[in-house]
A and B are shown apart, each in its own frame.
Chain A
């Protein structure tokens, strides 16, 4: 079986593998024999976990100049050099091993790595695949287009196609017991050319605790009439603070004086562009929707399953926000505390 390279992020608490890593390994199993590429030293339990999900080899890549890549800061705050390290390592390995495919997670860094590797290898590139399977003609990818209205199946021709895998796709499944073996671990040292040092982080600031304004925020938590009272709105604010987010509101909420008028989102208020928008007790009127159509991910919490907001939401939580939000706050606090995070 031809090797399939998988970029595995180990950014979880105490270097645990991110869920995306397991999912990618599961997909890679269908195309060949998965080789996990990791960018930080991994403990034996992590290697064993990668093996359970099908990795036959684990390549630990290190930057010669910065051997401690990844140990700095929790939560994946890495130098930009590690992007270049991944590009070099994956291109090199794909070429050496004649890889059948390269799979990387579909996040900002993953897309940059995929793009640059594809140029170096001259291979085809597919982004945001929700599924991948093997075919005699080559790997077949499934993508959703036009906001999920169509599914497109494509065959990727040529050597070592590079595929970025969408985050929300299929849940990870462990490999069948008979296929599991202890992966071979190898260390690869990368010497970056001078050219790759032309990008550097010059400042890194913790997000301020003061709330950002809705228009410029990358995360917005907003409340509507469903929040019920000014006191209820404090709950929305708490969730916003826990996420370093801005607080927004609907016309109804602003009129009732629960939130300031400059927090109003919609046709008559601010147009927002966040990565994440959380709507609490907001029905999703056209006027309000006009302000949130640029949000990348929309989460709606509403007790009415027929509320129009659910038609545009990526995640819908049907329930009473006065119960869901406190539970969410607890859950977020628990996840912040690494001791409480169980290893997979």
Chain B
């Protein structure tokens, strides 16, 4: 069984908070050079989930994939230390400023080239946090997708995921091959043993360019991006989005409205 885990190298929030000036480069992209980056935490859970599947059966091969600048290779090394077998790094100057469409195009091409039974992703990258890349990759690959799984069981021809659906908990079966994104509720990632960290240095990281994936440079990057950022303005509105005071009944009513509008109850 071939598992592919999509991982992203993202700014480390515990180091650089609060984000102040210098977060955005002149072209209004996130300036990754200026920030300390790490393997995205949600993606660590995806790697951990792959490891848990591997522990239950013998035939599992785990490949981690990232698309990102040269430094993003560090995220791969970390994923290898967490237990992945091999890694693919898609890196190309033309990729700078790619949007979700371009990212999913590249990742789908890489995944197709690697070959897969199951693609695992984090729920959302901590920097852009769009939570759309997994479904976009699945749509491009023409395979079923389930996002935000709280538990995953991999069978022979299908994968079953458990999802929180408000008043109920749903078990959803997807015919393999498939794409699944996992939440932090699937289980804490283990801390890699020193030996695994050393072993990771010996594992293979393949580097692919756009040409390797038969993608034209003009299909990706800032130029192909459908969204053009016009302005980034610091926003004073810190603190709660909603502050409720006064009579307890009114407060309760407004709180309940907020919760139901946000589909939290």
Contact = CB atoms under 8 A, between A and B. Distances in A.
B168 A111 contact: no
Interface residues of B: mostly helix, strand, loop or mixed? Answer: mixed
A173 to B, nearest CB: 15
Contact of A315 (B139, B146, B237, B241): B241
Contacts of A210: none
Contacts of B257: 19
Contact of A331 (B100, B145, B256): B256
A102 interface: no
B165 interface: yes
A300 B241 CA distance: 12
Contacts of A120: 139
A75 B167 contact: yes
Interface stretch (A24-32, A53-61, A147-155, A224-232): A147-155
Nearest to A140: B230
Interface stretch (B62-70, B130-138, B194-202): B130-138
Nearest to B183: A273
Could you say which of A203, A219, A276 has the most chain B C-beta atoms within 10 Å of its C-beta? A203
Q: Give the size range of B's interface with the partner.
A: 35 or more
Interface of B: 18-19, 23, 99-101, 104, 129-136, 138-140, 142-148, 150, 160, 164-175, 178, 183-185, 225-235, 237-246, 248-249, 251-253, 255-265
Contacts of A299: 255, 259
Interface residues of A, number: 87
A149 B255 contact: no
B243 A198 contact: no
Given A198-B174, A315-B240, A150 B233 contact: yes
Contact of B252 (A273, A275, A331): A331
Contact of A199 (B146, B251, B264): B146
A300 B258 CA distance: 13
Interface stretch (A121-129, A176-184, A249-257): A121-129
Interface residues of A: mostly helix, strand, loop or mixed? Answer: mixed
The 10 closest A-B pairs by CB, nearest first: A124-B226, A327-B252, A115-B135, A323-B248, A115-B132, A203-B171, A198-B175, A316-B240, A119-B139, A273-B184
A128 B234 CA distance: 18
A216 interface: yes
A114 B167 contact: no
Contacts of B133: 115
27 contacts: A75-B167, A112-B135, A112-B147, A116-B136, A119-B140, A124-B226, A125-B100, A125-B136, A148-B238, A168-B242, A204-B168, A204-B171, A207-B168, A218-B185, A275-B264, A276-B265, A305-B245, A310-B240, A310-B243, A315-B240, A315-B242, A315-B243, A319-B248, A319-B251, A324-B255, A326-B248, A332-B265
